[in-house]
Chain A
Amino acid sequence: MYKTAIRGKLVDGDKSLGQISTDILSPIDAKTPLWWYGAFTVSLLLFTWGAISIFITVTQGIGTWGVHNSVGWGWEIVNFVWWIGIGHAGTAFSIFLLILRQKWRTAINRAAEAMTVFAVLCAALFPLIHMGRSWLFFWVFPYPNTRGPLWVNFNSPLFWDFVAISAYLLISASFWYFGMVPDFATIRDTTKSKIKKAIYGFFAFGWTGSSKEWLRYEGLAFVLGGIAAVLVVSVHSIVSTDFAVSVEPGWHTTLFPPYFVVGAIFSGFAMVLTLVTLMKKLYKMDDFITENHVDAVCRILVFVSLIMGTAYMTEIFIAWYSGSEYEIYLFFHNRITGDYAFQFWAMFTCNALVPQLFWSRKIRRNLLLVFIISLIINLGMWFERFNIVVTSLAKDYLPSNWAPYHPTIIEIGFFAGTIGLFGAGVLLFFRYLPQIAISEVKMVSKFNKQQTDHLKPGHHEYE
């Protein structure tokens, strides 16, 4: 049962249920603010740059990139893993906090889930284009075909990854959507605009809030919550097997699955923090996303950051302890020192050291600092992926294979394009969809008041 004394109020301002709807829906009803158009234009420009880069890649080939025989996975896999990691937070946030009965998640889970969907979309673009002949991408599906039938290799982590990402995209999108159905009904029933009534009414799927609907809705949330928790852990473990089952130094390690899952949650929660600070600042959602909410996410980040630091140290220790000269060379002469020392130390500082600032309550309560640190963490997580992908490939067993890697402008454009796509998606979400789960916030708003015996504990097992 939720104890108000520990976390403070879940919803500030003593709002009535009607006010909760009005406040959360105000960005949909209000005029589009000027900054929104500015930000959307920038996102679209970035996206256009990305679209041009993709066009050049598809028409001319992967040769337009900086990848070569030694570093075959350049920025594309770096960015792919980075986006997938960010995309992990939404489901992790919704599911793990749902299972752990953390009621403060209700103000944030919708934004986290939205972010997940856009991030996974961005991530999926990279392997798709990296295939080279991306118009034949459907060959990855195991379907009866006229080429034999030639089946895919079920033992390959690349195929596992394809299954995992498609499943993750579909499941997180449907989880996000079905969470919004009752809120669409609220928009349909409260708006005065006929157009909005028709459009949101269509997406509300005829929802009325009857006990029959809620009962099955709860059952559905229970089932999806239970199985998606497994998915969160398995998807990024599978991404890590792309690396871990190879025999490259620095990749071939049993640490990878937990290390990747934790890293994904780390970067995802940092991106959640970026988004909620923006929601607080730009949309004045302070009554729903209180200082205590931000504080709670920051505390999780301190904890996860310690795990990240431990993982980095463990990798280095095991490289030395293994006595394998290739591992020792990679970690001590190609990461900690050597050509890629900057990327290594950037990763270490951003992920293991800077988040330790969150031990301070003052910093956790300073919105600007929280925003900056959340961006630093995401930068650090990008460097981590760069470290893993590029350092191992650039200098492997044979010095004759050694080759430095630099991205071309096309690769940079492709990455910028996905940032534009993500930005545009998030901006559209802010403008046209309920940013906060209205029905869930209404449900927890009663915990602000002193408990009465009519709200029996144990009756709210899963929301």
Chain B
Amino acid sequence: MSTNKKYLVGVFNDEHTLVDASEKVLEKGVVIEEVYTPYPNSINKQQITLNRDIMITNKKYLIGVFNDEHTLVDAFEKALEKGVVIEEVYTPYPIHEILMGMKIKTRITYAAFFYGLFGVIALLGGMYYAAVIDWPLRFGGKPFNSFPSFIVVTIVATILIITILTLFTFSARSKVYPGKKADIIDERATNDKFIIVLDQGNMGIEMPEVTELFESHGASEVYQKEANSN
């Protein structure tokens, strides 16, 4: 749906009129998506982003609450069939039908592979540098580059490198990190409810239809909520 976005474009011939127009529309509460200019200009970028954030946080949600995995998956699949755009689904545990239906992908396993590759090269390279180039020492006539005994450290330390870097990747990509304030839509979602959240500005079909769909497929509650109004 987001790829079918429609834009309204305004073209200006000089900086003066552009700044003037943007200030006027901001005052009227228009959300400016982006401004493109040939050179840096005096438009108040901060004001534009602030304005946009206000509009996003004023998002209105339609929330369907389900009591178990079975009815949730059922309603979720029916909604997708009808062309409903689902903003997010919150569940107490991972449900694979939902993860697949949401059409989001994670490349964390590929990232982990490359961290491993990096780890192996760095470790073998580091040990070769220390034992052969920087400070070669003879241990009972063994070769400086005693590759087989480097493998032990390489395996274990590579696992450590993969773990730590993958954890950081997970933390950064899912935005789960120390000190983050949880953006809770419905706090029962970590306990015993399964929650489908729709953005009222972009639901795909009309609200009564969605409500009817959820209710006929076993939703225990359907309610509306403004973002950040806990």
The answer to whether A binds B is: yes
A residues adjacent to B (C-beta < 8 A): 16-18, 21, 142, 148-151, 153-155, 159-160, 163-164, 166-167, 170-171, 174-175, 178, 181-182, 185-186, 188-190, 201-202, 204-220, 222-224, 227-228, 230-231, 234-235, 238, 241, 439-440, 442-443, 446, 452, 454-456, 459-461, 463
Cα–Cα, bound, A159→B68 (Å)? 52
Looking at B31-39, B42-50, B161-169, the stretch in contact with chain A turns out to be B161-169
Question: Among the interface residues A160, A166, A215, A231, which one has the most CB atoms of the partner chain B within 10 A?
Answer: A215
Nearest chain A residue, comparing its CB with the CB of B197: A210
Q: How far is the CA of A16 from the CA of B170 in the complex (A)?
A: 31
**Interfacial chain A residues near B137, Cβ < 8 Å:** 153
Residue B40, interface by CB 8 Å = no
In the assembled complex, which residues on chain B have CB atoms less than 8 Å from the CB atom of A440? 93
Contact at A231–B176, with CB atoms within 8 Å?
no
Nearest CB in chain B to that of A17: its residue: B192
Query: Cβ of B191 and Cβ of A160 under 8 Å apart?
Result: no
Of A210, A224, A230, A460, chain B has the most CB atoms within 10 Å of the CB of A210
Question: In the assembled complex, which residues on chain B have CB atoms less than 8 Å from the CB atom of A142?
Answer: 126, 130
Bound CA–CA A154/B129 (angstroms): 12
Please determine whether A439 and B134 come into contact, CB atoms closer than 8 angstroms: no
Give Cα A439–Cα B162 distance, bound, in whole angstroms.
25
- Find out whether the CB atom of B192 lies under 8 angstroms from the CB atom of A21: yes
* Measured CA separation A186–B41 after assembly (Å): 48
- Apart from A174-B164, A234-B152, 13 more pairs, CB < 8 Å: A151-B131, A166-B160, A170-B160, A175-B163, A204-B182, A206-B180, A211-B88, A211-B104, A217-B174, A223-B112, A223-B162, A230-B159, A455-B70
Number of contacting residues on B, CB 8 A?
70
Query: How far, in angstroms, from A211 to B91 measured CA to CA in the complex?
Result: 7
Set of chain A residues within 8 Å of B95, measured between Cβ atoms: 214
- State the main secondary structure of chain A at its contact with B: helix
> Given A212-B88, A223-B109, A455–B69 Cβ distance below 8 Å?
yes
- Which residues of B, 162-191, contact A by the 8 Å Cβ criterion? 162-164, 166-167, 170-171, 173-185, 187-191
Q: Give the residues in chain A near B213, CB-CB below 8 Å.
A: none
A21 neighbours in B (Cβ, 8 Å): 191-192
Residue of A nearest to B146 (CB): A155
| Minimum-distance CB pairs A-B, first 4 | A206-B180, A17-B192, A18-B192, A219-B108
Kindly identify, within residues 101 to 132 of chain B, every residue whose CB is under 8 Å from any CB belonging to chain A. 102, 104, 106, 108-109, 112, 116, 126-127, 130-131
* Pairwise interchain contact B167-A220, C-beta atoms closer than 8 A: yes
- Known contacts A160-B152, A463-B94; decide if A210 and B176 are in contact (CB<8 Å): no
User: Is A163 a contact partner of B191 (Cβ separation < 8 A)?
Assistant: no
Can you list 19 A-B pairs with a CB-CB distance of less than 8 A? A154-B130, A160-B153, A174-B163, A186-B190, A206-B175, A208-B184, A211-B99, A214-B93, A215-B99, A215-B106, A216-B170, A219-B106, A227-B116, A234-B152, A442-B92, A443-B94, A454-B74, A459-B97, A459-B100
Counting chain A CB atoms within 10 Å of each CB, the highest count among B102, B157, B184 belongs to: B184
Instruction: Report yes or no: B182 in contact with A201, Cβ–Cβ below 8 A.
Output: yes
Q: Does B56 touch A at the CB level, under 8 Å? A: no
Interface of B, secondary structure class, is helix
A149, A211, A443: the one within 8 Å of B102 (CB) = A211
Return the CB mask of B67-78 against A: 1 if under 8 Å, else 0: 011100110000
A230 cross-chain contacts in B, Cβ below 8 A: 155, 159
Alpha-carbon distance A218/B89, docked complex (angstroms): 16
| Assembled-state Cα–Cα distance A16/B188 (Å) | 13
Given contacts A154-B150, A223-B112, contact A443 B159 (CB under 8 A): no
Q: Say whether B190 contacts A163, CB under 8 Å.
A: no
Q: Is the CB of B159 within 8 A of A208?
A: no
In this complex, which of B94, B96, B135, B142 has the most chain A Cβ atoms within 10 angstroms of its Cβ? Answer: B94
